[in-house]
Each structure stands twice: as structure tokens, then as C-alpha cells.
A and B are shown apart, each in its own frame.
Chain A
């Protein structure tokens, strides 16, 4: 029986053809009616073309086949009784005032979102990685904004993102971060300071795989992302928002394979901040986010 079973399932496995294109080798159909052109002279397609997944994502598979189940068991909190309802607090503004009628009217002292307990454990509410944000700031860019060209190219190479990529409105690509405040002698509003990029979907998992397999193992004297001690409060905004952040030194940039191939094309090396944004919310969310990331072999170290 076992022999049959062993043979049965891999029948689907067509190993030799797995990565091959299966398109019939027919030429594209002839265009009879020419497409309309836009202002730049480029053809406008009849439909909105959006590029979806072009390959099976390895880490995404790993999440849905292994990590998700484990996380559900690890983060399960048994609550046999219904929760106590939240204490009703007086709203900040008079609710009978017509001015406040359809306006945001938080309870006195704010809505205290970071103090709220997490949602009850449920199989469809397991922590998931939503996006990764890369971010860097360069002080020299305040004087010479061309200094940001190197970081922009490096971020484009690392992330593979570009604005409106694949016909997606929401793909913002590499963005320039500008100053908001006016600090005398340093920064003024609207001055380009740094660069950031948001990664989502397969590109996010590709970046995570690169980071974990190529960069972190080759980083010298890297103990892991250092966690705060056990005495740290779990209801601060940073601990309850479900984001894990850490920084990479300038030396780490040259360890990314996309940068490594032509390192001398970049005039200057720089460090970057990485934020892993997860769906965990509520008290102690950062711990659940760490549990998720360690499922992708991101190393953590005790302080």
C-alpha cells in the first residue's frame, strides 16, 4: 500500500517541466485596429492590465503550510468565559452639541488603543506579515539633494519596487522622505532627507528570504535583533502595535546580492531601518510579531 501511495501523489510532480513556460508557441494575434495613444504616444490597452503573481512564492507557502498552524497553537489563549464589556467612559465633547454629532468623539483621556487586550484567539485571526518598510535618512542630503540618488538606486535594486508597477495604483515604489518640522540649523519643511519603500506580497517575502539567507548570516558580530528585557511594559504603543523594527549597519548594504554585483556603482554605503509590520494588535502584540518572524528564521537575542 505504501508503495502505491508513494507513487500516487508525485504523479502530479512533473519535475522536468516544473519551471518551464507552458505557452503554446503560437505568435501573438494580429492587431487589426490600432490602439489609441496617450499624450506620450504610448498605446492605451482596452482593459486595465494588472500583473499578479508570476511564480509560486516559497516563503508564502512556508507560512500557509507550517508557520500559520504553529502560530495559532503558540498564541492561543484559552478564554472559557465571555469578556467583561469595556468600561463606558464619558466622551470628550458634549454629545448633545450638534457640532460634535458626526465627528470623532473619543472617551475622556483618549481611546487608549495600546491598552486594549488582543482579539480572542481565532483560527482566522492568526498573525500574518502585512508589509516590510525599508527606510534610511542621510544627513548630507539636506545640503545636496543629489546625495539621495545612491540610496534611491540601492532601494530600487533591493526591493524591486517601482511606482505603479504592474499597473497597480497602490504600488508607490521608492519614495523620498521630506522634512516636516523646522529645526533651526538643521532641517526645514519640504527638504528631502531620506528614502523609504514599502514591500508587500511576493516581493516582501523575496526580500525577507534574501535578508535571512544572504545578509544576516554574513554580518559580523550580529547576535540577532536584540529584544528588550522581561520587565518592559507590554502596553506601550511600540509593544502593542505589532511592528518589529531594527537597523542594519552600512556594512550590511554590500551583503545584499543585488548590490554586491556592482558595489562600486554606489558612491556611498549607508545603513537602513527595517520595519516588519504584522497584523498583531493589542497588548503584547510585538511578542506575537516576533514569534511570527522567528518562524522565518529571523534571529532574536536577549538583551
Chain B
């Protein structure tokens, strides 16, 4: 599926956020000057790598600076299940063009599809006449409206599933059935990198000699349980979040954290948090995520999430 992605991970600092792009450029410059140094994404625990290749400070590597902390987060997406409901304007547009098409289409070769005088042909002609009336109007349309509701049931036609589910009515944010037309994203209530209880995407740290996309997969399983099938879209991270350091970070020698985001799809199952570190979860749309998360966090993820 993934064409020509290398097994190792040397070129994996693509990022969509603006600050991430600048970090990328600095990273590239650092590589140019010190080509022998291992990349920050390749092998790092807070204790290992010699210099910080991806710190946002443009200053050359300072041996007294703490090593950066690399984390991997997963943006787990439930893709839309339903086609989006057209707006009034779109419906008018489609209806208009459907009528033009009906007025202009080539004559239907009914003798090719039906035997002359068969029951099926009579049924088709009758239905076609009704569709014609509905398209081009007339006084009979208003009267006809009540009939098809009962008649279609009587024919044994299957009723389509409702577009608004039980989860929509009760406001159950844990259900995967909610908001069939929208992209939903998994948000967990748990401790973030400062130990504060917040809403955030599932994330975790990077072990020594582990690749970033492998860490993302492992961290997702660790936080959400093994009761779901997921697919991580790409080996490249799709964004990065660098939480702002407190003002006295240099004095306390606090390390800069880099949280790389990966996109994943849920294919089956459901989240089963262990209840200790993660206390709650929710499947939310982009607009519902904004009030729950930190402003800086939001700034780095808002362009990744789908508006629909």
C-alpha cells in the first residue's frame, strides 16, 4: 500500500503546522552541518542522543541543553458512514438538473428490457409516469403524497436505516454510530505531559531503537486497549505539537517535548480504556474538540482535522 517508504526513518519530519515547518527547516540545516549525527526521530530516549537536532531554538547545539523528548500521538478517525445531506441550495440544483435530464434523455428502449405486455412492463410504465409527474409537477402531485408511504411497506421493500441514530438522540459521545455524516476523532481524558488531567489524543513515549510509527501503534494499544482494529495511514507523521515551555525552563533545564501526530482509521471494535490512566473517552467532531482541548494544542491540530 505505502509506495516506496523506506524501512528506516530518516526523512520523517514532514509537518503541516506552520511552526513545525520552520522546525523542519532548522532540522535540515542542522543535518547539513553535522551529517554524521543521528536524527532526533531515529533513536532517542531522553537520556541517549548527543545533541538536540530538532529543538526549535536556532542556536547551535549546546551540550548543556537537555535532550528533547519525542512522543507519538495518534489521531484516530472514524470516517463518515453516510453521504452528506445536501443543503437546500444543492437540492434545488440537483432537482433542476434532474428535470433537464429527464426532459432530454434518449428514449428508453422498453422492448429491449421487457417482454411486450408483461406485468413487469406495466409496473415500470406506471412508476415511470409517476416519476414524470413528480418532476414536472401538476395539481395531482399534492394529492399523491400520502400514498407511497403505506404502499411501499406493503410491497415488502426494506426500509432504510434512519440517518439519525439512537446515539444522536441521547447525545452519547462514546458511540461510534453518532453523526454518520461527519468525521469523528477519538479524544481521551487522561494525564498529559505535565501530569494535568485533560482531553487529548492517545499518545505515548518512544522507546530506544524504536521507530516513530511503531511507537504510535504501541502507544495507541496501550491507551485504548486491544479490542479494536485500527490502521495507521502512513509512516510519516502528519503534524507536530511543541508545548510551550514555562519562562524559567532554561534555569530548570526543562526539555522541549515534540509530540508527533499520526493519522489512523478505526475499522472495527471500540475503545476499552483501562480506567487507571485514562478515565474517559469520546468520539467528537472537529467543532466539538475545540472547547475541550488546550488553546496551544488546538492551534497545532486544527488544520489536520476535517471540517466535515
Contacts and interface: CB of A to CB of B under 8 A. Distances in A.
Is the A/B pair a real complex? yes
Interface of A: 1-7, 9-10, 12-15, 18, 21-28, 49, 51-56, 58, 61-62, 65-66, 69-70, 73-78, 80-81, 153, 162, 165-167, 261-262, 265, 284, 287-288, 290-291, 294
Contacts of A53: 93-94, 97
Contacts, number: 163
Given A13-B181, A49-B100, A61 B83 contact: yes
Contacts of B168: 6-7, 10
Interface of B: 1-4, 11-14, 24-25, 27-28, 31, 79-80, 83-88, 90-101, 104, 106, 112-114, 134-139, 141-142, 162-164, 167-168, 170-173, 178-179, 181-183, 233-234, 236, 238, 263, 265, 282, 284-285, 287-288, 291, 306, 308
Contacts of B86: 18, 56
B139 A54 contact: no
A8 to B, nearest CB: 8
Contacts of B113: 261-262, 265
Contact of B308 (A14, A65, A75, A153): A65
Given A52-B97, A55-B98, A73 B137 contact: no
Given A15-B163, A55-B98, A80 B28 contact: yes
A261 B285 CA distance: 43
A26 B137 contact: yes
Given A58-B83, A74-B234, A23 B95 contact: yes
Contact of A80 (B24, B85, B98, B137): B24
Nearest to A1: B291
B83 A78 contact: no
Nearest to A51: B101
A69 B263 contact: yes
A265 B94 contact: no
A23 B87 contact: no
Contacts of B3: 74-75, 284, 287-288, 290-291
B171 A7 contact: yes
A12 B135 CA distance: 24
A10 B166 CA distance: 13
Contacts of A290: 3
Given A12-B85, A15-B162, A23-B95, A2 B308 contact: no
